[in-house]
Structure 1
Amino acid sequence: MKLLKSALLASVMAMPMAGAALADTPPNALIVAQNIDDIVAIDPAQAYEFTSGELVTNMYDRLVQYDAEDPTVLAAGIASDWQMDAASRTITFTIREDATFHSGNPVTPADVVYSLGRVIKLNLTPAFILAQLGWTPENVDQMVTAEGNVVTVKYEGDFSPAFVLNVLAARPASIVDMKTVMANEVDGDMGNAWLNANAAGSGPFKLDAYRPAQLVRMSAHGDYFKGAPKMDSVIIRHVAESATQELMLESGDIDLARNLTPDQIAGLDASAIKVDTFPQAAVHFLSFNQKTDSLTDPAVWEAARYLVDYKGMTNSIIKGQMEVHQAFWPKGFPGSYDETPFSYDPAKAKAILAEAGIETPIKVELDVINAAPFTDMAQSLQASFADAGISFEILPGTGSQVITKYRERTHEAMLLYWGPDFMDPHSNAKAFAYNSDNSDGSYAATTTWRNAWAVPDELNKKTKMALTESDPAKRLEIYRDLQAEVQKESPIVIMFQAAYQVAMDTNVSGYVNGATSDFVFYRLVDKD
């Protein structure tokens, strides 16, 4: 029998240790165990991590958005409808009248104009997504305007309106409560510091508490325009160890475990715990910083592609959680390139290095997130690369530590993953096949810049050409060509595409985990 008692809820939040008496979670609260230490920021204008994307999606709305009912369909959000005019590069949005922020303030066209302009003016990590539309701090107030109940969005560039809509459905286009944010502005930061500890959205959940690398607690927004969530609250506990997550799930202290290993999944009691598998858009890769002299020869990049034990890992440590995929746009999405020409062949790797005159051993520091399955993958790479004289020293760190180091370009080699910022192949093409300015002072939120890879001009030109191609079929073919070229020669070795497994109590239903972290939805979750 499940009892809603404050003492019980407090004990759940305190994360009881394994061995405690069996304790069911409260019937109106969803308790999740998850590694959330990758979060650097939760302000939608700055949030650029996987877990922060999940939070933003559940606490904020956008003009148009992918939603829980069907994460593959671009649906109405704060805008009830819209009209597109490709000739004048303009989209007009009618703002719905039944949306309210968590503060009780109505969502207005002025909030939309403020929110989109705020991202550009702050110019933090994800601002480049909206800046693609030709928006700058100097012109954004003319490019996004409001009159009555209509917001007019103008853009520069030969983009299809569909591309623009996908950009506006991305995380940084989330609408914030202008009055609340401005009331918490400090020294002209447009509320950035406050929004990294609080939230001011209109989404299905409001933020009650956020303690970095400890806890997120959200409660239902009862006036949500699509209807209140079925759960009164969602509590996400930071539990880095997968073994602890498993024990908590089996003892009834949590409802969902987000980071179990394949072995743990296989060992669960199917009568009490179910496992749902969700195909993901994230690709996992090994990359080499081109500021490290020993890693700049293309022969090292080529040899590396034959030193990954692809099948060995997918048949063991990442079984059910990843599949072999060697191109930057995920399989199953329009424009994907699904050829997998590389397999584990240390003899071939040695021959490639020898022919190029590369002296071994090569010693390389490998940064990795200190959590499953990344540490296991790093150990596999350490063993297989040693076969050709490449010695990895594994440097584990929290998600935020590893990502921060990556952004600063201070790593040597990096084991990481990447998901698209919006559901268009250009999102990953710009990250893996474009870098027009490789200077240290020209920060770009791309794998190419972060690995200090000066992308050849021809690739840069082809990436731009794909973005402006008006013929849909031709455009996708250009993206396939780009993937084939990057697959053949780049310091980024793409290895796998994720498949995400979530273990949960059998009484949980309605959990939705779409292809990216921005498509994790708790609004429809129920507990029978």
Structure 2
Amino acid sequence: MALRKIALALLAATIMALPTTKPARAADGTAITGAFDVGPGGFQGNFNPLAATGGFTWLNLYFEPLVIYDGKLEKIEGALATKFEVSADRLSYSFTLADTKWHDGQPFTSADVKFTIETAKNGATGSVFAARLSAIKAVETPDAHTVVLRLSAPNAGLLDTLTQLMMLPQHALKDIAAETLAKNPWWSKTPIGTGPYKFSRYVTDQYVELAANDEYRGGKPVTGRIINRYFANTAAAVAALRAGEISFSYVEADDAASFKGNDAYRVIDGNSFVVNYLGFNQEAPLWKDLKVRQAVMHAINRDAIVQSLYGGAAKTANCGYVADRLQPAGLDPYAYDPEKAKQLLAEAGWDKINGDKPITLLTYYNTPQATNVLAAVQAMLSQVGINVVPRAVDTPTYNGTIYAQKPDWKQFPLVYAGLRNGPDPGGLNMGLNEKQIPPQGANFLRIRMPSVTQAFDAALNESDDARQAERYQAVCKAMNADLPWATLWVANRYGVASSKLKNFVWLPAPGGGPYAAHPEKWAVE
């Protein structure tokens, strides 16, 4: 309980909700309003799916990928592709496209798919997909409704990657220079997709409003408009939820418990499929010695944080995975041992490397729970002589810092972040493989560890499904031994929806999914 009280004084100043302009009601009188981007995974601002690392729950209302996870995150099914086939050698992927139109009435064709993939492979566009799609050597379009991807080598994570690659309209974007595409105002002013809802308007830092796409191939949406309101934090969103101003929000564990037993609400919980970690910027001389990284692991009482601040709804991680099938025997558990941490720091010469100089701990997690977690981590590291100073910023600021053209490691020598470790375990590759260093991918910590890269390459190139778990165990072993991160835990996540919402689907998916939520069926009483 002591940890739970840390930093409570910081919350009082951030309870106020941001919106001051009220969204319009739908012409047919129906609207669903929610806090869809509150909490981890939010991505307000530019709405560019090529650069998005989260917020896919919302983006998928108007943009759509070729394939998507089902509503249980168990298998991949067609979205804009009505069917798809993978060759026996895993070098060819064939997609049959849906007969549908963009929101401006233009037909969706294979030319759009080719344009999207080639744009996403171009690092100059600010895409976070460039390295993940590098195995695609050719995109063939034999006709308007067929696409064939030819790979230079098998890539076990390709379909998983394609679930997050939203298709883009060639006719609307082809004349925009690649170098200016990332921050072009089109994304937040006039974007068009193929989804069940059309972009209507964005009021800066207040809300985004979508209108029903009456021509949607899945049927006319039941609800006229869906509105995404922005809040300073989960506390403000929860207050709006209780007041009936919104019908849904991500919530923290404590708030979720307070809604249980109340028939006016439905509590949704599940595995986040996100591993939280302290990331060591490899450009910073602070972390070059493995003993220093080991000391960080031993200094943090992860079990105490999980029990006190997560209420036990998390599982400590000794590599990027917590699933039993992905963990080999013999992993170092890095038990809480501050004396061993001090010894390791002394052996590494920490006094000369840094001593008690403050080290910025950058994060995009700005919820009350995260504030308490970081306060606990800060206190524990301080006890062994490592002085970290947490700095929480919004997601666009965080991404702008870590993905800057010439990043300054002093701005983020250490980060508290999360990365998807499922449903496909290959998701971690984007943050750890040397080939994924920006602008090619999301390895913004500039991790260059041959053992880790080679283990991921072997896993992604494995064509035998029966050997996949073994390959990812090798990844786990390399992470555990070399510590590119100080892995912490995988936690459950929660959402609360009004009982007035019908056919509403939300999952605590990594990065917000996407997944087959069928928003065209959502209704409100």
Cα deviation code 1:18-71 (max 9, x no counterpart)? xxxxxxxx9732211243874464233x232212x2333221222222244x44
3-state SS of the aligned residue for 2:350?
A: coil
Which piece of structure 1 moves more, 388-397 or 355-364? 355-364
Aligned residue number for residue 19 of structure 1:
none
1:289 Cα deviation (Å)?
1.9
Give 1:321 shift.
5.7
Report how far residue 192 of structure 1 moved.
6.5
1:332-371 maps to which residues of 2 (within 5 A)?
335=326, 341-359=333-351, 360-361=355-356, 363-369=358-364, 370-371=366-367
Contact 1:207 1:217 in 2 (8 A): yes
1:496 has 2:489 as partner: yes
Deviation (angstroms), 1:76: 1.8
Cα distance between partner residues in 2 of 1:474 and 1:88: 15
Match of 1:255 in 2: 247
What secondary structure does 2:401 align onto?
helix
Q: Using the alignment, how far apart are the partners of 2:159 and 2:419 within structure 1?
A: 22
Aligned to 2:153: 157
User: How far apart in 1 are the matches of 2:320 and 2:413?
Assistant: 21
Q: Cα offset for 1:430?
A: 4.5
Partner of 2:218: 226
Report if the CA contact (8 A) 1:185-1:192 is conserved: no
Q: Secondary structure at the match of 1:464?
A: helix
Assess, with a 3 A threshold, how the Cα gap between structure 1 residues 118 and 485 changes in structure 2: closer, same or farther. closer
CA deviations over 1:241-277 (Å, ceiling 9, x no partner): 322222211111111122x333333334732333210
SS in 1 for 2:108: coil
**Of the candidates 36, 42, 52, which is equivalent to residue 47 of structure 2?**
42
- SS class of match (1:386): helix
What is the letter of the counterpart of residue 402 of structure 1? Y
What is aligned with 1:23? Answer: none
1:512 to 2:506 alignment:
yes
SS in 1 for 2:375: helix
Correspondence for 1:481: 474
Superposed displacement of residue 231, structure 1: 2.5
Choose which of 396, 400, 409 in structure 2 pairs with 1:400: 396
Question: Is the 1:325–1:494 Cα contact (8 Å) retained in structure 2?
Answer: yes
C-alpha separation between the residues in 1 aligned to 2:226 and 2:70? Answer: 18
Change (3 A) 1:487 1:42: same
Q: Report SS of the residue matched to 1:494.
A: strand
For 1:145 and 1:453, the matched residues in 2 are separated by 37
Partners of 2:393 and 2:144 in 1: CA distance:
50
Distance 1:437 1:274 in 2: 40
TM-score (norm 2): 0.82
Q: Secondary structure at the match of 2:274?
A: strand
Counterparts of 1:281-300 in structure 2, within 5 Å, are: 281-300=273-292
Which runs of structure 2 are paired with 1:120-159 in the superposition (5 Å)? Answer: 120-121=121-122, 123-128=125-130, 131-135=133-137, 140=138, 143-159=139-155
Separation in 2, partners of 1:452, 1:130: 16
Judge conservation of contact 1:60–1:175 (CA < 8 Å) in 2. yes
Letter in 2 for 1:266: A
**Kept in 2: contact 1:15–1:237 (CA 8 A):** no
Q: Deviations over 1:126-184 (max 9, x none)?
A: 2325533234xxxx5xx332325322222211346xx44333x3323x222333334x7
- Cα separation, 2, equivalents of 1:321 and 1:404: 32
Match of residue 386 from structure 1: 382
Question: Aligned to 1:100, what secondary structure does the other structure show?
Answer: coil
Report the counterpart of residue 435 of structure 1 in structure 2.
Answer: 434
8 Å contact kept, 1:282–1:418: yes
The residue aligned with 1:59 is 62
Contact 1:328 1:483 in 2 (8 A): yes
CA contact (8 A) 1:321 1:499 kept: yes
Structure 2 letter corresponding to 1:196: W
Q: Name the amino acid aligned to 2:252.
A: T
Structure 1 counterpart of 2:11: none
Q: Show the counterpart of 1:116.
A: 117
Q: Compute the TM-score of the two structures, normalised by the length of structure 1.
A: 0.82
Rounded Cα–Cα distance in structure 2 between residues aligned with 1:149 and 1:406: 39
Alpha-carbon contact 1:429-1:482 (below 8 Å) kept? no
Q: Report whether the alignment pairs 1:302 with 2:294.
A: yes
Change (3 A) 1:264 1:463: closer
Alignment check: 8 A CA contact 2:456 2:475 kept: yes
What do you get for the CA RMSD once the two structures are aligned? Answer: 3.2
- CA–CA distance in structure 1, aligned partners of residues 299 and 89 of structure 2: 50
Amino acid in the other structure paired with 2:248: L
Note the residue ranges of structure 2 that are not aligned, 5 or more in a row: 1-16, 23-27
SS of residue in 1 equivalent to 2:223: coil
Amino acid corresponding to residue 505 of structure 2 in structure 1: Y
Partner of 2:308: helix, strand, or coil?
coil
The match for 1:527 is: 524
Identity %: 18
Larger mean CA deviation between 340-349 and 185-194 belongs to: 185-194
1:12 deviation in Å?
A: 11
Cα distance change, pair 462–298 in 1 and its aligned pair in 2 (3 A): same
Residue aligning to 2:31: 29
How many Å separate the matches in 1 of 2:341 and 2:90?
A: 53
Given the superposition, is the C-alpha separation of residues 125 and 94 from structure 1 closer, same or farther in structure 2, using an over 3 Å criterion?
Answer: closer
Q: Is the 8 A contact 2:61 2:196 kept in 1?
A: yes
Query: 1:125–1:498: structure 2 CA closer, same or farther, 3 Å change rule?
Result: farther
Q: Equivalent residues in 2 for 1:321-332 (5 A)?
A: 322-329=314-321, 331=323
- Which 10-residue stretch deviates more, 480-489 or 209-218? 209-218
Instruction: Specify the alignment match of 2:20 in structure 1.
Output: 14
Aligned to 2:187: 196
Q: Which residue of 2 aligns with 1:77?
A: 79
- 1:5 is matched with none
Distance 1:249 1:118 in 2: 39
Contact 2:81 2:97 in 1 (8 A): yes
**Cα deviation, residue 232, structure 1:** 2.1
Once the two structures are superposed, what CA deviation does each residue of 1:421-464 show, in whole Å capped at 9, x if it has no partner? Answer: x85333313422x21597xxx634334xx223321x34333322
Q: Which has the higher contact order (CA 8 A, sep 6+)?
A: 2
Call closer, same or farther: CA 1:504–1:79 in 2, change over 3 Å: closer
d(CA) in 2 for partners of 1:265, 1:499 = 11
Letter in structure 2 aligned against 1:210: Y
CA contact (8 A) 1:240 1:371 kept: no
2: CA distance, partners of 1:204 / 1:320: 38
SS in 1 for 2:217: coil
Matched letter for residue 519 of structure 1: P
- Structure 1 contact 229–523 (Cα < 8 Å) conserved: yes
Deviation sequence 1:453-493 (CA, Å, 0-9, x none) = 321x3433332222222222323212112112212322411
Question: Partners in 2 of 1:366 and 1:337 — Cα distance?
Answer: 31
Task: For 2:496 and 2:376, locate their aligned partners in 1 and report how far apart those are by CA, in whole Å.
Answer: 25
How far is the alpha carbon of 1:290 from its aligned partner?
Answer: 2.8
Is 1:373 the counterpart of 2:372? The answer is no
Number of equivalent positions:
484
AA at the equivalent of 1:235: I
